[in-house]
Amino acid sequence: MSTSDLSRCAWCSSDPLYQNYHDDEWGQPLFDDQALFELLCLEGAQAGLSWITVLKKREHYRVVFDHFDANKIAAYDADKITSLLSDAGIIRNRAKVAAFISNAAAYLQLKQEGRFSDFLWSFVNGKTIVNQWANIADTPVATAESIAMSKALKKRGFKFVGPTICYAFMQASGMVDDHSPGCWKRTQSV
Catalytic residues: 21, 43, 51
Calpha distance 2→83 (Å, rounded): 42
Calpha distance 79→1 (Å, rounded): 51
Determine the 3-state secondary structure of 43 from DSSP.
helix
What element of type H or E holds 154? Answer: helix 144-155
Neighbours of 94 (CB within 10 A): 10
Q: Comparing C-alpha atoms, which of 184, 173, 122 is closest to residue 149?
A: 122
